[in-house]
Amino acid sequence: MNLLRWQAATLLRRVPCRPVPHSSLRHSSASARFIPPAQLNNIGQRPRRRKEDNEWEEEKEQEAEVFMRGMPIPESPSFYTGRATYHDTLIVLQNAVNTTYATLRTLQLVPLPDFARDSLKSYPTTWKPIEEMGQELECKLTTTRYQKITTLLNQLNHYLSVANTAGYKDLGVRIHDILSSFESGKAAANRNRGKRAPVVLDQYGRSYTVGKRKTSAARVWMIPVKVPSPGAPTAIPAPLASTSEDVTIATESSQEQKEPVIVTASTILVNNIPISEYFRQSLDRERIMRPLRVAGVVGKYNIFTIARGGGTTGQSGAIAHGIAKGIFAHEPEQGTVLKRAKLLRRDPRMVERKKTGMAKARKRYTWVKR
Neighbours of 239 (CB within 10 A): 11
Angstrom distance (rounded) from CA 317 to CA 212: 7
* Whole-structure pTM value: 0.49
> Which are the contacts of 42, defined by CB distance < 8 A and separation ≥ 6?
none
What is the DSSP secondary structure assignment for residue 314, as one 8-state letter? H
Angstrom distance (rounded) from CA 369 to CA 139: 71
- The β-bridge relationship of strands 273-274 and 207-213 is unpaired
For position 13, what pLDDT does the model report?
Answer: 56
> What is the side-by-side order of every strand in the sheet holding 273-274?
207-213, 216-224, 301-308, 268-270, 273-274
Domains of the chain: 79-191 (no CATH), 197-226+266-348 (3.30.230.10)
∠ CA 34-40-45, rounded to 5°: 70
3-state secondary structure (DSSP) of residue 60:
helix
Per-residue model confidence as pLDDT tens digits over 98-119 = 999 999 999 988 888 888 888 8
∠ CA 346-352-353, rounded to 5°: 120
> Which are the contacts of 210, defined by CB distance < 8 A and separation ≥ 6?
217, 218, 219, 220, 322, 325
For position 178, what pLDDT does the model report?
Answer: 92
Q: How far is CA 267 from the centre of its chain?
A: 45
Angstrom distance (rounded) from CA 138 to CA 85: 7
Give Dmax (Cα) for the chain.
192
Residues 342, 348: contact at Cβ < 8 Å? no
3-state secondary structure (DSSP) of residue 12:
helix
Return the amino acid letter for 36.
P
For position 105, what pLDDT does the model report?
Answer: 93
pLDDT profile of the chain (370 residues), mean per 10: 52 51 49 66 58 71 70 79 91 95 92 84 83 90 93 93 90 92 74 71 93 96 81 50 47 52 72 94 96 94 96 96 96 94 94 94 92
For helices 169-180 and 84-106, what crossing angle results, to 10°? 170
Angstrom distance (rounded) from CA 311 to CA 268: 19
